Amino acid sequence: MDITVLDIGTSSVKTLIAAIDENGGINVSGFANAKNQGMAKSRIVDIDLTISAIKESVQSAEIMAGKKAENIFVSIGGSDTIGIASKGIIATKRAGGEITAEDVVRVIAQAKVVLTIDSNILHVIPKEFTVDDQTNIKNPVGLLGSKLSAETMVIAVQNILIQNINNAVERSGFKPSELISQHVAAYTSTLDREEMDLGVALIDIGGGSTKISVFNDDALRFIDTIDVAGDYITKDISIGLRLTRNDSESIKLKYGSCLKELVSSEETFTAPGLNDRESRTISTAELFEIVAPRVDEIIELASKSIEKSGLFHKLNAGIVLTGGTANLKGIKERFERKTNVPVKIGTPQRLSGITDNLNNPSFAVSVGMLLYAADLFRQSGAPRTGGKISLDGSVSRFLNFFKDMFKL
Ligand SMILES: Nc1ncnc2c1ncn2[C@@H]1O[C@H](COP(=O)(O)OP(=O)(O)OP(=O)(O)O)[C@@H](O)[C@H]1O
Ligand SMILES: [Mg+2]
């Protein structure tokens, strides 16, 4: 089955077209990355410009893949994404007998919280299960028990945001099949189970927003979003050096650094003048003085957010940075110095037979969406016989989706 993932980001819309085989194997045949000028802080502010970016991105990926985009999974993010702890309890189907995957799907579905009227649940992610009085169980399938409870993290997004994204995709001429949270997609491609178990914070620093997910004891414990990211650095370069946004962006990519040791005191670059003014020579040291404080602000806000989770002292596997801004020179070291925690750059993993171009932190969400869809598909083949339990609340919708596709 072919699926398409659409990561609608503030800086760019990324599209991947891939075939998923019945074992969940993935083969990417097309990808594209189209600049998006219709969003700010991960929200749509100009629907027409967002539609142009979506069209351009999907059409380029279609040409590369030589096929039409279908079964479209769309990412959703921004500070309107919330994570709420919740709990579900059920009596198992066969009291005292073996717990089945169906029981697990039921208890997770039960763990949905009552939300304010204007939000919609995207995922219900299990943290741990309790079977009768036995707590801290990661996979209850096959255990004997009469009562099953699940502690979960519910991820929900404001309806208005969902409607805007749906609208933009539909008006671009495509039909969205499923929505996936950018938080969930980003950690799916960049973290492994061991890191999640030890304790880790994933920080996805994109263009418009910074998404934070904190794990401990093999479970997602906390999510948060900060409304500052790479665009904030670009905007400050533009103000500080009196340059257009476009020129500031390319100068940031080429000469930007947030580590003093990487900045030579002699190096300079030529900056084009604004509106036919004369071009100027600027030193990279001057650029550093603008970039570094903005990065420090992002680090401070991200640290405060992680502190809110109460798990800062439990980040035994440190911090993983992803998103396009994780490419900024010196960002790993600056984060390490400011937080005193080991930092790694998270490039998307777990994908084989893929072009090198996706091997970049800015593709963490889109690659994660593919992996997520493939994982669900792998599970959907045998939902009643157990298997890996990383099912979430959207599982029944997904299962139906895949069943329809494959007439299972
Ligand atoms: N080499 C680099 N140095 C510095 N910044 C970079 C580099 N490469 C990309 N970026 C920045 O990364 C940001 C884009 O990242 P990404 O593609 O992850 O964002 P997005 O997903 O479109 O936005 P968001 O998730 O915030 O809505 C831009 O601000 C861009 O300037
Ligand atoms: Mg993004």
CATH of the domain at 101: 3.30.1490.110
In a domain, 331, yes or no: yes
| Domain membership of residue 298 as a residue range | 193-347
Same domain assignment for residues 250 and 324: yes
Residue 214 CA to ligand 2 center (angstroms) comes to 17
Concatenated DSSP letters for 245-308? Answer: HHHHHHHHHHH-BS-GGG--SS-EEEEPPGGGPPPEEEEHHHHHHHHHHHHHHHHHHHHHHHHH
Closest atom of ligand 1 to CA, residue 39: 27
> From the CA of 68, how far away is ligand 2's center (Å)?
24
What is the total residue count of the chain? Answer: 408
Statement to judge: residues 207 and 328 lie in one domain? yes
Smallest-distance ligand from the CA of 186: 2
Residue 16 has a pLDDT of: 96
Single-letter amino acid, residue 337: R
Span 172-219, pLDDT tens digits? 999 998 899 999 999 999 999 999 999 999 999 999 999 999 999 999
Ligand 1 within 6 A of CB of 383: no
Pick from 85, 107, 30, 25: nearest CA to 61: 30
Confirm whether 271 is domain-assigned: yes
- The pLDDT, as a whole number, for residue 356 is 73
Q: Which is the closest atom of ligand 1 to the Cα of 231?
A: 29
Ligand 1 pocket test, candidate residues 5, 247, 325, 369, most atoms within 8 A of CB: 325
Contact 322, 204 (CB under 8 A): yes
Domain-embedded: residue 86: yes
- Inside any domain, residue 69: no
- The CATH code of the domain that includes 319 is 3.30.420.40
Same domain, 117 and 239: no
Phi, psi of 95 (to 5 degrees): -55, 125
* Ligand 1 atom 15 nearest Cα: 324
Read off the pLDDT of residues 347-401 as tens digits, 9 standing for 90 and up: 997 676 556 788 999 999 999 999 988 887 776 643 333 333 334 444 445 444 4
Proximal ligand: closest to the CA of 42? 1
Q: Is 181 in the pocket of ligand 1 (CB under 6 A)?
A: no
> Measured between alpha carbons, how far is residue 394 from residues 34, 114, 397 in Å?
29, 16, 5
- Spacing, Cα 138 to ligand 2 middle (Å): 30
With cut-offs at 50, 70 and 90, classify the pLDDT of residue 143: very high
In a domain, 371, yes or no: no
Q: Please tell me whether residues 117 and 232 are part of one structural domain.
A: no
Structural domains counted in the chain: 2
Whether 89 maps to a domain, the answer reads yes
294 pLDDT higher than 80? yes
Q: What pLDDT is recorded for position 23? A: 77
Verify that 221 and 343 share a domain, yes or no.
yes
Query: What sign does the dihedral 217-220-226-232 (CA atoms) show?
Result: positive
Radius of gyration in angstroms for the set of CA atoms belonging to the chain, rounded to a whole number:
22
Specify whether the CB–CB gap between 326 and 258 falls below 8 A. no
Among 57, 248, 362, the mutation site with the greatest number of ligand 1 atoms within 8 A of its Cβ is 362
Residue 207 domain-assigned? Answer: yes
> What spacing in Å lies between the alpha carbon of 192 and ligand 1's midpoint?
23
Q: Is the CB of 80 under 6 A from ligand 1?
A: no
State which of 347, 371, 392 marks the end of a domain.
347
151 shares its domain with 206: no
DSSP 8-state secondary structure symbol assigned to residue 42? T
Cα(151) to ligand 2 centroid in Å equals 28
Asked whether residue 207 falls in the same domain as residue 316, the answer is: yes
Q: What is the pTM assigned to this prediction?
A: 0.92
Same domain, 208 and 340: yes
Are 245 and 10 in contact, with CB atoms under 8 Å apart?
no
Give the Å distance between the CA of 11 and the centre of ligand 1.
6
User: Which residue has the least CA distance to atom 4 on ligand 1?
Assistant: 328
Question: Are 335 and 210 in a shared domain?
Answer: yes
Q: Is residue 381 in some structural domain? A: no
